[in-house]
Amino acid sequence: MRKYSITKKKGEWYNAQVTDSYGNEYQNYFETEVKANNWIHYIWESEEHFKQWRENSEELLSKAIANCIEIDEKRGVEPSLD
């Protein structure tokens, strides 16, 4: 599923687009093609780190929401999903 693209229009920086093994898409701009290529390799080499970060951030958000609901319940306020 990995794929990448490095393009450049006249007068613009290199546009690097990459898809990792999990289907996540990234885009960035670079002054040189070498820097764009290095960034693509960095994304692919860091896939597991990014995956763990996303999972951890979702877990933290879930816990934060649960804590807010618990605070509302202790205050006698009906939790709102709005």
Residue by residue, DSSP assigns 16-36 as EEEE-TT--EEEEEESSHHHH
pLDDT digits (tens, 9 = 90+) for 21-72: 888 899 999 999 999 999 999 999 888 876 777 677 788 888 888 898 888 8
pLDDT band at residue 80 under the 50/70/90 scheme? low
Rounded to an integer, the average pLDDT of 10-24 is 93
In degrees and rounded to multiples of 5, residue 25 shows phi and psi of: -105, 140
Torsion over CA: 79, 56, 51, 18 (sign): positive
